Amino acid sequence: MKQSRRLFATFQDTIYSLSTGWGKSAIAVIRISGPNAKIAANLTKPSTELRLKPRFAYYKTFYDIFTPNKKPIDQGILLYFKSPNSFTGEDMMEFQIHGSHVTRRMLLDALAKIPQFRQALPVSHHLFKSVGRIHKTSSFQWQIRLATG
């Protein structure tokens, strides 16, 4: 897919975003939502499969698996939410890490290197002014649930 077409994303994309603010904080939360969200678990255990139970917290070390020596990024909490029982209604992963600017940037950069992932962009819509894509997806899923009973 051409880079220019990525701006017109569908709800089938796997997206990631920093859910906490960019300012100073003790903790940063990064959320991944979409059909390939479980791939993000590979950042915790390079080259081995991790079996995840939904809604169970795992204390893990996060690695940049794309560097030659699998450089550790940080230690934190990993959560998995299986669709449709997640905030967005899709499969969702949540990384809770230390809030330093360097740690956040390193983990976001590692996620950017996963071919199936793309960073979520803010949504421009009259109902969702300056609301992130992950929040819009959850609102869309909520409206579908209301319509279908």
Count Cβ atoms below 10 Å from residue 116 Cβ, excluding itself: 12
Superfamily classification of domain 13-121: Probable tRNA modification gtpase trme; domain 1 (3.30.1360.120)
Confirm if 14 and 33 have CB atoms less than 8 A apart: yes
d(CA 127, CA 94): 26
Confirm if 75 and 59 have CB atoms less than 8 A apart: yes
Q: What is the pLDDT of residues 133-145, one digit of tens each?
A: 555 555 555 445 5
Q: What is the pLDDT of residues 63-90, one digit of tens each?
A: 999 988 889 999 999 999 998 888 788 8
Q: What is the pTM of this model?
A: 0.73
What's the pLDDT at 126?
Answer: 44
| In the block, residue with structure tokens 């029982």 | 85
The full set of domain ranges for the chain reads 13-121
What's the pLDDT at 48?
Answer: 56
Q: What is the pLDDT of residues 37-54, one digit of tens each?
A: 988 888 887 655 678 899
For residue 73, give both structure tokens.
């990024």
Q: What is the pLDDT of residues 1-38, one digit of tens each?
A: 444 344 444 456 788 989 888 788 899 999 999 999 98
